[in-house]
Structure 1
Amino acid sequence: MADAASSAEAILLTFRGLDNVRTFGEPIAGYASANVVLDYPDGRSLMLTTAKDKACTGEEFAEDPIAPDAPESELDGWLASHCGF
């Protein structure tokens, strides 16, 4: 899921730390911030981060990839033990 970013990361973080929720796979992009680009008359620009996403765990995320709880190889075992699959 390395190509998931931005709003997908915001959704992921709404579930982070909740009981019976676990994420599997690969780290995702790391675009969990809000940015404003200021363009200057001479052609230069400045990107200013104005907000970070915050999980219910209290963790803040911005520009670093968000790691899953476990690799995808552990998914079937977790589902079997928690969901009876």
Structure 2
Amino acid sequence: GGRGGLAALRDTWQPGPGPLAEAQAILADAGLPGRPKVWRNRLTQGNLQLRYGRDARWYRFTRSGTEWRMDGPPSASPVDLAY
């Protein structure tokens, strides 16, 4: 994750609607339980959360108890992280 991953972990910001709408549609089609919820730069569905970084990359987080933990390298496309 590097510097971008650290920022994705700590920063909450409001990007334009385009990237989040695209990711929301991808998660809705991924067959995961529940509906994707959007809040600022975060898209959450069940135990999966995708965070859109200021570097225009997506970061995958998974829930571990009450915490979110980064799960793998970032991607320019949310489709790569919706598994």
- Regarding TM over 0.5, the answer is no
Tell me which structure has the larger Cα radius of gyration. Answer: 1
- Normalized per residue, the structure richer in strand is 2
Quick one: higher RCO (CA 8 Å, sep 6+), 1 or 2?
1
Higher helix proportion (structure 1 or 2): 2
TM-score between the two structures when normalised by the length of structure 2 = 0.28
